Amino acid sequence: MTQLLNNRYQIINTIGRGGFGETFLSEDTYMPSRRRCVIKQLKPLVNNPQVYQLVQERFQREAAILEALGEENSQIPTLYAYFSEEGQFYLVQEWVEGNTLGQCLQQQGLLGEGKIREILQQLLPVLEYIHKKGIVHRDIKPDNIILRDRDRAPVLIDFGAVRETMATQLNSQGNATSSIIIGTPGFMPSEQAAGRPLFSSDLYSLGLTAIYLLTGRLPQQLTDAYTGEFDWHQYASQVSPELMTVLDKAIQSHPRDRFPTAQEMLNGLESASANVPLAATLPPPEQEETIAVTPPPS
């Protein structure tokens, strides 16, 4: 493709598409190396000049937050630039080479307990960091976590707040509001679905992400039709009771029953790790299990 965005970025291909726009893998033609980058296109949902001005202001604020996050934490993509063009908004971000956790599951099968513990131990400090900044990610799921090729560190992508700005509207009093819910059905808790996300909402989503990677089954497939609770232990016989206890607490339906902070969940995980015999964290020799894996919604 020869199309240039902002007279600078050459689109290589489309790597994502959603209700708010598209995501492109691109090259920066201003850089001698033609550095690759990811460009997220965001379309305002309301075509109104007054609303557009509000969207622009909110977009700039959220872009500044993303810039600061990426500069201070290596497990959040760096924001290179942002711009608007023909009524649409664009974020230019670091291209993280690697596979999402969803892709890892599709390609390699179920992840073992040892790998899940490693991912959680690396991701929970990232959540603690953004939560201390007052930010709730709001869309943690297997497809929004990339295992970076160069160091195998999990990288958190696609923060929900920028997408929410595209849904800005004016209420009857002329004040800016947004009624859209950011998140992925199944992976988000009820308070988030009601428009009131909490820090522990991210922990809930992370817990369900871990369970999906351990079982290959979506949250909707694990919900008991009578109680509404998640019945996943029967599909995770290889998982230690200690890790089960940590994940069960993370996915409690009521926020007060979950870990209050990412640091508390990390403490619980590390305490559980200390109580697990080494043999419990190792895969059985010469055994492989083949299952049908259901991909998560994009």
Helix, strand or coil for residue 108? helix
Same domain, 8 and 24: yes
In the residue annotation, 224 being an active-site residue is answered as no
Closest CA to 154 of 78, 93, 101, 211: 101
Q: Which residue type is seen at 255?
A: P
Number of domains in the chain: 2
**Residue 237 near residue 112 (C-beta atoms within 8 A):** no
**Residue 9 near residue 29 (C-beta atoms within 8 A):** yes
First and final CA of the chain: distance in angstroms?
25
Domain-located, residue 57: yes
Looking at 28, 139, 158, 248, which residue is catalytic? 139
Mean pLDDT by 10-residue block, N- to C-terminus, for the chain (298 residues)? 86 90 96 97 84 89 95 98 94 98 97 98 99 96 98 96 78 65 94 95 99 98 91 96 98 98 98 65 42 59
The CATH number of the domain where 74 resides is what? 3.30.200.20
Domain that holds residue 63: 4-94
Answer yes or no: is 40 a known binding residue.
yes
Supply φ then ψ for residue 230, to 5 degrees. Answer: -85, 125
So what's the pLDDT on residue 288?
39
Domain-located, residue 298: no
Domain-located, residue 173: no
Radius of gyration, CA atoms only, the chain? 20
Same domain, 37 and 66: yes
So what's the pLDDT on residue 129?
98
The CATH number of the domain where 197 resides is what? 1.10.510.10
CA distance 123 to 137: 12
